[in-house]
Structure formats: structure tokens, C-alpha cells
Amino acid sequence: MSKRNVALIGATIVSIIYGVTFTIAKDVMPKHIDAYGFILLRAGGSMLLFWFVWFLMTLFDRTKNEKIAFNDFPRIIASAFFGVAFNMLTFFKGLSLTSPISAAVIMVTTPMIVLVLSAIIMKERMHKRKVFGIILGLIGTAFLILYGKSIGSATNAGLGNFLVLVNAISYGFYLIIVKKLMHKYNAFTFVKWIYLFGFLMVLPFGWSQFTTVDWAFVPTDIYWKIGFVVVVSTFLTYLLNLLSMKELKPTTVAVFIYLQPLFATIFAISLGKDELSLVKVGSAILIFSGVYLVTLKKK
């Protein structure tokens, strides 16, 4: 099997994992642990895993022990804020208030957000087709935030959908900021620092919620779901994304984001955790149409 096919399989697995994660994380929050306490677990567990793997790499291969230039640490701290702390705080809090399907659909706006931020920050040119696509996507997102009601424990779908959108914007900033580091260092050289700073940033928010959890009364299946989010949804997906980005173009990798709502919808509905509605279907059509126009290559 060629490296490209392996990378395509890896990107597909990432989309499946993310799609499943929306429902699995929703089972944990807020019934067993509040959103910020769960974020502390995710950031802390992932930080330990990244530092452990980096230690093993340097133990067997001294060339992997790169040194980071001092003037790159502000960029790493900014990446930690937008890619870990603010990103996770808004996403998990939003997911605890809304439904898995709505959250997954809103996350599809990420490529459009990256395009807008690139135009503002990096002065990249935007064509009329892309502007129209962005407007379509924003209309679909607005409908989903305002009218996308959900079943189950979606206590405040409007606020939850808005926070997930803020998370997507934060992740867009992260993708732009971290790009320079990706070209300059081995991924494990800087990602361990990003998660260390990110963990320190979420610590004041999540510590009180983490300490109030009575772990003796947490069911065994919830422990497994927490472990899944930390090890599989965070650590493993990052490694698979590295594999994909080495062999595939960024635009190709971005396309796999569009599969997340599909897998999230199938998984959530099959477990009775959510249901489709005309508003969700219509919003999804607008968002997907907008993303298609934005990412369509000029002939």
C-alpha cells in the first residue's frame, strides 16, 4: 500500500474518531463531570503523553532533541491559548449545552474561518465566489445557532452552538499561528510545550470542577469514555494528522473535516442521543454549500 493511501486511511480514521467523540464526550458532560473539569483531564493527560513520547524519542535518537529558539516561545504560548486552552474551553462548554449533530455541523465552518483569517492576517486575496460561500455558511450557522433545537440534555442549544462557533474561530487562529512552527521544528519538539502551556492556562478554570467529582461513584464505562477522549480523540488523532499532512496537501486534509458531521449524525442517532430536524438539514446544506464554494479550486 502506498504512503498516500495510508495517509488517506489515516485522515478518514481521524474523521470517524472526531465524529464519535461528539457523542462520547456528551455522555460524560455535564452529568458526571463539568466541562472545565473534563478539559483539565484532557489537556493534562495529553500533555503527559506528548512529553512521554518525546522522552522515548530522544532516548533512542539524540537527533530528535531539538532546541526551540527563545523568540519562538511567544508563538508557542499563543498556539497554546488558541489551540488548547480557549479552543477546548469553548468547545466542551458549548458541547455540554448543545447536541452532537449541531456541534459537528458548526465545526465544518473551520475551513471558511481559516480563509477569512488568512485574508485579514496574511493579506491573501479573496474571490467573489469565496465571499458568497462564506456568506452562505454564516447564514446556515446563524440558523443552527438560533433555531437548532435538540433532544436530550441540550440545556441551552443557542448558547452552546455559539460557543462551538467561537471554538472554530479560535482553532482557525491556531492553524495560522502554528504553521511557522510546523515548518521549523519536529512536531514533538513544540507540541509538548503547547500542551504544557495549555494545561497551565486551563488549570484555574478546571481545578475546582475536577476536585468536586466523586470518582468512587463514576461508572466504569464513563472512565473508559474519558480515556477514549484523552488518548484517542486527542493524542492519537494528532499523530494520525501528522501522517496525513506529510503525504497530502492541506486542502485534501481539510476535506475530511466534512465527514465529521456524517459520522457524528450516524453515531448520535443510532444511540438515540439526537435527532434530525428540517432546521438542522437546511443549515447543513447551506454550510456545506458555502464550504464547497470556498474550497473549490479555480480551473
Question: pLDDT category, 286, cuts 50, 70, 90?
Answer: confident
pLDDT of res. 71: 92
Give the tens place of pLDDT for each residue, 174-231.
877 887 787 788 777 888 899 999 999 999 999 999 999 888 888 999 999 999 999 9
The proportion of the chain whose per-residue pLDDT surpasses 70, expressed as a percent, equals 76
Higher-pLDDT residue of 221, 110 = 221
Highest mean pLDDT among 59-73, 110-124, 125-139, 265-279: 59-73
In this prediction, residues 240-262 reach a mean pLDDT of 64
Higher-pLDDT residue of 113, 213 = 213
pLDDT of res. 296: 64
What is the radius of gyration, based on Cα positions, of the chain?
19
Question: pLDDT category, 151, cuts 50, 70, 90?
Answer: very low
Does pTM top 0.85 for this prediction? no
- The Cα–Cα gap between 287 and 86 comes to 24
In this prediction, residues 43-64 reach a mean pLDDT of 84
pLDDT of res. 54: 87
pLDDT of res. 204: 93
- Average pLDDT across the chain, whole number: 79
pLDDT at 167 over 90: no
Higher-pLDDT residue of 299, 272 = 272
